[in-house]
Amino acid sequence: MSAIQVVRSEWTKIRSVSSTVWTLGLAAVVTIALGTLISILSKREFDSLGAREQVSFDPTFISFAGMSLGQLAMIVFGVLVVSNEYSTGMIRTSLAAVPQRGTFLFGKVAVATLLAFVVGLATSFVAFFLGQAMLGEHAASLSDRGVLRAVIGGGLYMMLIAMFSMGVAAMLRGPMLSLGILMPFFFLISNILGNVSATEKIGRYLPDQAGSKIMQVVTPFGDDTPYGPWGGLGIMVLWVMAALVGGYAVIKKRDA
C-alpha cells in the first residue's frame, strides 16, 4: 500500500470513530469558554492589581488560559488515534495491510497532526478575539508586536501536545496506561516541579511549560527563563520527536 493510500485509510479511520471527533470539538469548546471566562474576571480584577502586575499584564496570554484544560482533550485525542486499534484488536489487520510499520505510523500521525493543527489554530484565533473583546480597554491587537506569533503559537502548541500523546501511546499501546501516565505528567508532576523553588529550573524544560512560552507576549515580572518563545517551542519539539521515535521503535520491534 502506498503512502497516499495509507493516509486516506487513516483519515477514514479517524473520522469514522466518534470519540476522536468529539474530543477535538471538546478541546476547542473548553479552551474558548474558559479563556473567555478568565478574560472577563481579569478585566474586573485589573484595577486591584499591584503596579508590577499591571505592567506585566499579558492580555494575549490571558485569553489562552483555557489551554490548560483544552489540552486535556487534545491528549485524549492523540491517545485514542493510536491506541484504539490496539484495544479493539484491529491493529493486526492494519499491520497486515501495511507491513511497512514506519509508513503505517507516519500516515496515522500525519493525518491526526493536520487535524489537530487545524482545530488548534482555529481555536487559538477564536479564543484570542473573544478574550480581547471581554478585556475591553486592556485588550491587545493582532497587529501588536508578538501577538500574531502568540496566536499562531497557540495552534502549534495544541498540535504538539497531540503529537506527543501519539508518540507515548505508540510506546505504551493501551489507552488506559497511556492516559494514566500522561494526565499526571501534565497536570500533577509538571505543576509541582514548576511551582517548587527547588525544582523550578527542571520544570522549565518539560514540554508543556517550555511550549507555552510561545503564547506569551509580555514577560512576567521576575521571569529569568533562559530561553524565549521560539526556544521554548523548540524544546517542546524535541520532546515530541523523542516520543515519536520511541513509538516507532516499539512498533517496529514488537508484535501486534
Judge contact between 221 and 53, C-beta under 8 A.
yes
Residue 89's pLDDT is what?
62
Name the more confident of 12 and 255.
12
Please compute the mean of the pLDDT values over residues 249-254 and round it to a whole number: 82
Of the candidates 73, 166, 64, which has an alpha carbon nearest to the alpha carbon of residue 113? 166
d(CA 55, CA 204): 23
d(CA 206, CA 64): 19
| Phi–psi pair at 26, nearest 5 degrees | -65, -40
Residue 38's pLDDT is what?
95
Contacts of residue 8, defined as CB under 8 A and 6 or more positions apart, other chains included, come to none
C-beta pairs of 40-49 under 8 Å, 24+ apart in sequence: 40/134, 42/135, 42/138, 43/134, 43/135, 43/136, 43/138, 46/138
User: Exposed e or buried b for every residue in 87-105, given b needs 16+ CB within 10 A?
Assistant: eeeebeebbeebeebebbb
Rg (alpha carbons) of the chain, rounded to whole number? 19
Residue % of the chain over a pLDDT of 90: 56
d(CA 254, CA 98): 15
Reported as a pLDDT band with limits 50, 70 and 90, residue 2 is: low
Please compute the mean of the pLDDT values over residues 194-217 and round it to a whole number: 90
Specify burial of residue 128 (Cβ count, 10 A radius: 0-12, 13-18, 19+). buried
d(CA 96, CA 209): 39
Domain count along the chain: 1
Of the candidates 29, 36, 64, 39, which has an alpha carbon nearest to the alpha carbon of residue 214? 64
Residue 26's pLDDT is what?
93
Record the cell numbers describing residue 28, joined without a space: 476547542
Q: For residue 105, is pLDDT > 90?
A: no
Q: For residue 173, is pLDDT > 90?
A: no
Of the candidates 229, 230, 231, which has an alpha carbon nearest to the alpha carbon of residue 219? 229
Residue 36's pLDDT is what?
96
Q: For residue 91, is pLDDT > 70?
A: no
d(CA 208, CA 204): 9
| Phi–psi pair at 66, nearest 5 degrees | -70, -10
Please compute the mean of the pLDDT values over residues 145-164 and round it to a whole number: 97
Residue 56 lies in domain: 3-253
